[in-house]
Chain A
Amino acid sequence: MAFHRGQKVEIFRKSEDEGWGEHMDQYIGRHGIITDPDTTKNDPDALIEVSVEGKGTHRFPQDCLRLLTA
């Protein structure tokens, strides 16, 4: 899945990626908006920026995100 700015996503699970910080566990199940996808390479491995509702903006591994249909 290629993510784009403005898409709504859910952080639906914990990622095993090293980009997953311990404090991110609290974001599981929360919804957010992609604010900065990988703007250079469209790399499935890139950490992408998501603004999580009420929890601020963080970079997440893509395998923990899924698109929400509008």
Chain B
Amino acid sequence: MPDIKCPVNQTLSGLREAIESGRLFNPRSRRIAEEILDLLTDVAWGRAGSDHLAAIAALSDELAYDEASPGAMAAAKSIKDALGEHREVFQSHIETHNCATGDCVRLVPAPCQMTCPAGIDVPTYVNLIGLGHDAEAIEVIRKDNPFPWVCGLVCTRPCEFMCVRGRVDKPISIKFLKAFAAERALSDHRYRNPAQAPDKGQRVAVVGAGPGGMTAAYYLALKGYGVTVFEALPVAGGMMMLGIPRYRLPREVIDREVAMLEELGVKFKFNTRYGEHLSRESLQSENFEAVFLAIGAHQAFKLNIPGENDYPQVIEAIDFLRHVALGDRRAPGRRAVVVGGGNVAIDAARTCLRLGSEEVTIAYRRTRAEMPADVEELEQAEDEGIHIAFLTIPTGIRGTDGRLTGLNCLRAKLVQKDGSDRLFPVPEDGSDFVIETDCVISAIGQRVDLDCLADLSGLKWTRRQTIHTNTVSMETSTPGVFAGGDAVTGPATVVEAIGAGKRAAEAIDRFLSGIPQPKMPPVPVRRTRVEWIELPASTKMTLRRPEMPLLNLERRRTTFQQVELGYTENIVREEARRCLRCDICLRCGKCVEVCRDMMGINALEFGFLNFDHPGPTDFRVTAERCILCGACAANCPNQAIRIIDRGDERLLSYCGTILNRQKLEHCRTCGAVLGPQRYLEFLQKRTQTVSTVIADRNLCHSCLRRQSAGVHQENTPV
């Protein structure tokens, strides 16, 4: 079968090689070539728009204009030739987001990587950690996320929900592995910034020093832009610093990772609020050519109950957490009630406890089943002694002499309304009761502060009162103004904001370089393909996801010490080895089909291959049934499953997991390898009706033929 190559992939590789070889010595040519490279990458990844090919052609013409550089002219000619000869293939990549040859599809990432909003190459870094290469793992992570340590502690870990190992037993503990590697790399002074592009002489303003803003700043600085981050508060970190308490995310973690941005030349201007100290005009007058708005969602919703505005002891959770983060260590009251059922409510309640509140209650309108907070956070809060009052609707604040004394409540019941399968809390008549308390903390959600952006009159808002953007390029309705993070999504996750910041940096770079924006969200990039770690099937099956050791309860109730203590090195290395390497095995199931349906062996119990209805998986079963015929390996499109002869054994390996190993038999005459006994017996059984077995002798085909020829010669009549 002819080896068909993808012209898109070939053009991309050719141009990359031309750039890296230094043949394009004219800076202008190099810049044009890099722009073409970006556009070709879009095509190869299926995220190009209809104008990409025209832009590539126009840029190629520009590149060809450099007559002084034969390298540039040759590169331009090669691109134009490819476009001319294979235009329909390029077009097909754009329209179908597919590559018929599979060359571009080899970049298909693993489910964990696809799931990560920042697109981190999870299998690569997990396996680097498994090999003990922590600094290299951090280097891989930081190609997509400048905050590996932060995310190692507070990420909502969508990757783990999609982890294929979760279909076997429990997902890989990806989040904690990342935290370990970051801590180790920093401790070893091997946590370093990558090389920066030369200064482009262009400036970008980032408004908001939260995860989204700082991520954009990081990637823009790496691309050579001068970046200034304007922050309303006196510290960097945004919600990471002010919304997440120290017992989950120590301040030093944020400080160390923010310092890495400063090392790249990113400038921070604190206590500078957009709409008060800054405007679009003032930024333009300071020669900022693009603006990234990452102002977050810091304005709390009101409870809207009588008495809410009459007592200073009614406070908003987000303000409360902010004050504590900035150094206020006073308990809000001896008895505290937090209203709400989300993560912020849990954080506020656990913070009250640590500040010295003796009784802390969370009042929530629905039941545990509807509670939106993370289950782990809720469990930890209850362990620490926080009481949750479910089905409780606050109706008013009561107090005397300007001092709050209680929260009036009604008991709720959940009812289903017509046309909806959602349960709504409805007050029960006569169920009034009072929770006696000294303070009420409202944690019922946040929204974006619209007022501060009033000067951006052309800015379009969604009906959810968030900034309207193109979700692919993060462009707002105002040219040159981009937005991301909670200001666009509403209160969301750190990693989502990081993903938005990275996309925005890419889009701002394109905007300032005058090249078209992609039409599809970026496909995560496979950074490298780390060799797999070999281990026996029994080990792969029996390794268990470790429990996270926690700080003792007394300290959790009294201090802000980190609750999750982290894994030990041995545990980390072992946990990484549970990874199934879905970056190599694409779970097409051909191996299982051929073994079961063609060979009739059915030795591969790979129930995890099915996303919707996973069946049982046991790698150990293979050794019981497998004949090491190699049909599975021969049919694997990605060499995930391999047959290897090593010493006097034949091994069947699935992404490094040794499924079966059998002693090899050799030809008794010439010593050639015949295969394992089980395989030979299988062949004998299959062929016994058409050929006779020559005694019990193991002979290779050549020796058998020679022997048969001798027999024929003796028996053939002359």
- Which chain A residues have a beta carbon within 8 Å of chain B's beta carbons? 1-2, 5-6, 8, 18-19, 21, 23, 26, 31, 33-47, 49, 51, 53-59, 68, 70
Contacts and interface: CB of A to CB of B under 8 A. Distances in A.
Contacts of B340: 40
Interface in B461-475: 462-464, 468, 471-472
B489 A39 contact: no
B162 A51 contact: yes
B612 A5 contact: no
B492 A49 contact: yes
B333 interface: no
Nearest to B472: A23
B662 interface: no
Nearest to A67: B421
Contacts of B462: 18-19
5 smallest beta-carbon distances between A and B, as pairs: A35-B158, A40-B342, A51-B115, A40-B445, A41-B445
* Chain B interface main SS type: loop
Contacts of A5: 156, 161, 374-375
A5 B159 CA distance: 12
B491 A57 contact: no
A42 B521 contact: no
A33 B161 contact: yes
A41 B472 contact: no
A53 B111 contact: yes
B372 A54 contact: no
A42 B340 CA distance: 10
A57 B342 contact: no
A42 B366 contact: yes
Contacts of A70: 613
A57 B446 contact: no
Contact of B161 (A18, A35, A54): A35
Contacts of B444: 40-41
A15 B437 CA distance: 44
Contacts of B370: 2, 42
B61 to A, nearest CB: 30
30 contacts: A1-B422, A5-B161, A18-B463, A18-B468, A19-B464, A35-B161, A36-B156, A36-B158, A36-B492, A36-B496, A37-B372, A39-B342, A39-B372, A39-B373, A39-B374, A39-B491, A40-B342, A40-B446, A41-B372, A42-B341, A42-B370, A46-B464, A49-B493, A51-B158, A53-B611, A56-B115, A56-B119, A56-B521, A57-B158, A70-B613
B145 to A, nearest CB: 14
B628 to A, nearest CB: 32
A42 to B, nearest CB: 5
A45 B464 CA distance: 9
Interface string B330-350: 000000000011111000000
* Chain A interface main SS type: loop
B435 interface: no
Size bracket of the B interface: 35 or more
Contact of A46 (B374, B446, B468, B490): B490
B587 to A, nearest CB: 10
A57 B111 CA distance: 10
Interface string B463-504: 110001001100000000000000001111100100000000
Contact of A21 (B115, B343, B373, B472): B472
A51 B161 CA distance: 9
A66 B520 CA distance: 24
A56 B366 CA distance: 32
A41 B496 contact: no
Contacts of A19: 462, 464
Given A18-B462, A51-B114, A2 B422 contact: yes
Nearest to B111: A53
A54 B164 CA distance: 12
Contacts of A44: 420, 422
B683 interface: no
A7 B196 CA distance: 42
Nearest to A23: B520
B519 interface: yes
B320 to A, nearest CB: 15
Contact of B489 (A21, A31, A47, A55): A47
Interface in B356-389: 366, 369-375
A30 to B, nearest CB: 10
B114 A54 contact: yes
Nearest to A34: B161
Contacts of B375: 5
B423 interface: yes
Contacts of B343: 39-40
B116 interface: yes
A49 B496 contact: yes
Nearest to A8: B612
B114 A1 contact: no
A64 B489 CA distance: 18
Contacts of A58: 471, 521
Given A35-B161, A41-B444, A56-B523, 14 more contacts: A2-B422, A5-B156, A23-B519, A23-B521, A35-B158, A39-B342, A39-B343, A39-B373, A40-B445, A42-B372, A49-B492, A51-B162, A56-B114, A59-B489
A33 B162 CA distance: 7
A17 B375 CA distance: 29
Contact of A31 (B423, B519, B612): B612
Nearest to A26: B97
A56 to B, nearest CB: 5
Contacts of A31: 611-612
B521 A68 contact: no
A15 B520 CA distance: 18
B146 interface: no
A40 B344 contact: yes
A45 B462 CA distance: 13
Contacts of A57: 114-117, 158, 496
A19 to B, nearest CB: 7
A44 B372 CA distance: 12
Interface in B169-205: none
B212 interface: no
A19 B586 CA distance: 31
A20 to B, nearest CB: 10
A56 B374 CA distance: 22
Contacts of B158: 35-36, 49, 51, 57
Nearest to B524: A56
B195 to A, nearest CB: 28
**A19, A34, A68 interface centre (most CB from chain B within 10 Å):** A19
A59 B343 CA distance: 19
B371 to A, nearest CB: 8
A14 B446 CA distance: 28
